[in-house]
Amino acid sequence: MAVTKEAIDPDEARKYVYRQVHSFERKGWLTARGIYRSKRYKKTDLFHQTKFVPRQFDLNSMSKIPSITADRKPEEDIAVLLKEKKHHEGKLAVALGEVEEYQSLINRFPNSRELLLPLFSDAKECSARLVGKINAMSKALKASGFTRGKC
């Protein structure tokens, strides 16, 4: 929290870290001992075999996405939502392609299953997040009275 310049709610930061640790445990990268607050985690051999690459976060691309503000017309807000929804739908198509390919690779190369499962899991989580975003935007468009096409 001290590294970022944004004000982050400590509860939200704690939840974020817990979700990450829990995700690593599901992927087999961590093992847990103990219960509740006395739980301790240990890195597994799979963790050490995995090559982690930091994500590249492009701040410039985020600044290009217009936010919905009170000084804009509702039609402009709808146009922004439609553009963002279309963008996420494209990303979802890519993520679903990844999921299918990981499934195929796991079936074709069963000896590499342990190596491919975390990647498969990440791709599924990414697609689930994208579906959630698309659903939320569709519902927001529907609530705003937008009726052109299917949302």
Name the residue with higher pLDDT: 118 or 10: 118
Alpha-carbon dihedral sign for residues 18, 21, 27, 31: negative
Tens-digit pLDDT profile for residues 57-71? 555 554 444 454 555
Tens-digit pLDDT profile for residues 4-50? 666 677 888 888 888 888 888 888 889 989 888 888 999 998 888 88
pLDDT at 3: 67
In this prediction the pTM is 0.52
